[in-house]
Amino acid sequence: MSLSTVPDLYGSMVFNNDVMRERLPKDAYKALTKTIETGKEIDASIADIVANAMKDWAIEKGATHYTHWFQPLSGVTAEKHESFINPVGSCKVVMDFSGKELIRGEGDASSFPSGGLRATFEARGYTAWDPGSYAFVKDKTLYIPTAFCSYTGEALDTKTPLLRSMDLINEQALRILRLFGDTQTQRVATTVGAEQEYFLINKDYYSKRMDLRFCGKTLFGAPAPKGQELEDHYFGPLKTNVAAFMAELDTELWKLGINAKTEHNEAAPSQHELAPIYATLNLAVDQNLLTMEYIRKVAERHGMTALLTEKPFAGVNGSGKHNNWSLSTDLGKNLLSPGKTPAENKQFLLILSAVIRAVDQYQDLLRLSVASADNDDRLGSNEAPPAVVSVFIGDELEDIVESIVGGKEYHGNKRTEMNLHVQTVPTFTRDTTDRNRTSPFAFTGNKFEFRMVGSAQNIAMPNIVLNTAVAEVFKDFADQLESAKNFDTALNSLIRDTLAAHRRIVFNGNGYSDEWIAEAERRGLCNYPTTVDVIPALTASKNIRLFTSTGVMSETELRSRESILYEIYSKTINVEAQTMIQMASREILPAVENYIRTLADTAKAKKDAFGEGFNCALEQDLIDRLCTLQYKAYRALESLKAAEAKAVGTGEKLAVYYKEKVLPAMRALRVPVDQLETIMPEDLWPFPTYGDLMHK
């Protein structure tokens, strides 16, 4: 594919605005775009027109089926395919697709995680078309993004509360803009760019490891002789097969209108990253889910397997998904852009204050929004932010905040020219702030980068929390300022008081240091090391009030999600524990036994050949070391089996048991096994090692 074809290729499989303008009657096109642009309800009378145009276009693209594509609470997407065919007589069919079929579908709600909202015999659930996310053709099927709800109306997905949160922040942000005299903006949208990290490994090696196949991560593994110590992989030259993979991935994503922009090697061997251009939140969520799917699919075609799990290898960087969050108007203005003189930009300072307050008040929910058993292994390691939430705003903004809180005039100017003193290298303007890769929530110029999100995660929940929390603060600010007698006086006081009350959440230093964790505790910040620790925060009274008062989620929906989080955590650890048991029992211990037997046979052969007095100290020493570690591994294996056998119950009780009893037993088994790997011959170890997986 030549670059000249990219503009023609881009979005070619998407029923986007250009296609709609071309194929829909003017009235239908205007009605549909009004829904997309303003968030207003779709005019049902145009559904048949849109459905027919969508069907004709999809068939031209090779589609024979359609599906309502939705996001249940399982963490992955779901789809049920229906053909366009409609029988006419006994021997003929026509291709048909009605407005009713476009608007509504039906799925088995009891077969997806519902947290008790649906019993097995209460099966009916509905999918409902989301016009704000474009339909697309993939694998000869028309995909229609939809919301998913139960028969009784509760949201059983991530998209429904996401859409509610988008409407909410639009409503409250417009109130803020009107206070500053903006009467032109009609809609404020959250925009997001989700940077996606992942590993690529040899597909044959992947197939030989049970832990990778069942868990997406290694449960055993001694460090390779070389990890990422030399820091030579980051931004290094792409291997030929990786470059070919990335080229095809770009092509597939561009067809779907996904703005794949940046790609490079990440810090760990075999780790890579893809970053898109920003998109409206609803679209960004759907596109990131497609990006993860295509990373896996394209990797398979190149003889590789993609690992999106947060911590697939111990001892090297895990994978995250940096969620770059901002607010933009329909006129193209970024509300988080400080401008050239941020100290004088009162609208920006008010919005900045709102975000800082929202993060401080709902730091528990932000930690919860990224919680998973796998992400627990990543957070707090030296490649990811700690589990303690804080906000980085940079030196210039911190100085401005200090001047506002202290009642002093700000005279600083951090904008300087960079001169490398090489004649051929031009000077350039230095950014007003450095980047802080250790910060969980960092301001990076005109956006906030939420770096705690896990690589395998749907980004909907982190953004639901951000939208809802910020919108609540916007509402409170608007309520106060709309009733103020003197707007400027009230505005200045509100900014000052908010920053003074919530400056504890601002931290520009090293988030990896032990000193910061101690300092965070002194400041009264939350520290939830594990998922089990933070799940109860979802139904804390203040958080129930947040979601119910704003209409984003009902208490019933929140409690169902709490139940699902406990269930997924327990099931995840259970699968990992059972996998470890089988690998140790069926592969590792038998391999060690065979090597011990080989050593014993070798020692006997030497004595037979050279006499009983021949020195077989080498074999005996190896046998002693192997037998000691083998016994330790066996005892640890039996302890893990015993712990697993006692894992009974449901909900919080079971999750706490897995965290406190099963996980320590798993770690105890790994220690002697990894030591055994270092002294076993490579050809006798039963599966590929870290060296094989990351360096071949």
Distance CA(143)–CA(23), nearest Å, equals 18
* Higher pLDDT among residues 230 and 573, named by residue: 573
Confidence of residue 684 (pLDDT cuts 50, 70, 90): very high
Query: Does the pLDDT of residue 348 top 90, yes or no?
Result: yes
Q: What is the pLDDT averaged over residues 459-482?
A: 97
H-helix or E-strand spanning residue 150: strand 141-150
Q: Taking residues 551-577, what's their average pLDDT?
A: 96
Reduced to 3 states (helix: H, G, I; strand: E, B; else coil), residue 552 is coil
| Residue bearing the bigger pLDDT, 540 or 617 | 540
Check residue 44 and give its pLDDT. Answer: 75
Residue 432: its pLDDT value, please? 60
pLDDT value at residue 314: 92
DSSP 443-485: E-SSSEEETT-BTTS-THHHHHHHHHHHHHHHHHHHHHHHT-S
Angle made by CA atoms 461, 462, 465, in degrees to the nearest 5: 85
Mean pLDDT (whole number) for 190-208: 96
**pLDDT more than 90, % of the chain:** 69
Residue 222: pLDDT over 70: yes
The mean pLDDT of 434-454, rounded to a whole number, is: 85
Burial 527-555 (b: 16+ CB within 10 A, else e): bbebbbbbbbbbeeeebbebbeebebbbe
Residues 269, 274: Cα–Cα separation, whole Å: 16
Task: For domain 568-695, give the fold.
Answer: Four Helix Bundle (Hemerythrin (Met), subunit A) (1.20.120)
Angstrom distance (rounded) from CA 40 to CA 192: 22
Q: What's the chain's average pLDDT?
A: 91
What's the CATH fold of domain 3-156? Answer: Ubiquitin-like (UB roll) (3.10.20)
* Range in 30-44, 214-228, 450-464, 465-479 the model is least confident about: 30-44
Q: Which residues are bridge partners to 325 per DSSP?
A: 192, 448
Residue 121: the pLDDT is 54
Cβ proximity of 353 and 495 under 8 Å: yes
Q: How far apart are CA 18 and CA 1, in angstroms?
A: 23
For the 196-320 domain, the top CATH level (class) is alpha beta
> How far is 656 from 669, CA to CA, in rounded Å?
20
What is the full DSSP assignment across 651-675? HHHHHHHIIIIIHHHHHHHHHHHHH
Q: pLDDT category, 435, cuts 50, 70, 90?
A: low
Taking the C-alpha atoms of residue 555 and residue 561, their distance in angstroms, rounded to an integer, is 10
What is the pLDDT at residue 287? 96
pLDDT of residue 71: 92
Contact by Cβ (8 Å): 317, 228: yes
Contact (CB, 8 A) for 233 and 164: no
**Per-residue pLDDT averaged across 363-368, rounded?**
97
| Strands 196-202 and 271-276, bridge-based pairing | antiparallel
Q: How confident is the model at residue 120 (pLDDT cuts 50, 70, 90)?
A: low
The DSSP output letter for 426 is: P
- Domain positions in the chain are 3-156, 158-193+322-552, 196-320, 568-695
Residue 81: strand pairing partners: 67
d(Cα 221, Cα 118) in Å, to the nearest integer? 41
Contact 33, 43 (CB under 8 A): no
Which pLDDT does position 109 carry in this prediction?
65
- Cα 109–chain centre separation: 24
What is the predicted pLDDT for the residue at 663?
Answer: 97
Q: What is the pLDDT of residues 508-530, one digit of tens each?
A: 888 888 888 899 999 999 999 99
pLDDT at residue 623, as a whole number: 95
- According to DSSP, the β-strands at 441-443 and 391-392 are parallel
pLDDT at 153 over 90: no
Q: What is residue 431's predicted lDDT score, i.e. its pLDDT?
A: 60
Range from 10-14, 229-233, 237-241 that averages highest in pLDDT: 10-14
- Residue 615 to residue 665: CA distance in whole angstroms: 39
Question: Between vectors from CA 88 to CA 87 and to CA 89, what angle results, nearest 5°?
Answer: 110
CA–CA dist 669, 630 (Å, integer)? 11
What 8-state DSSP symbol labels residue 96?
Answer: -
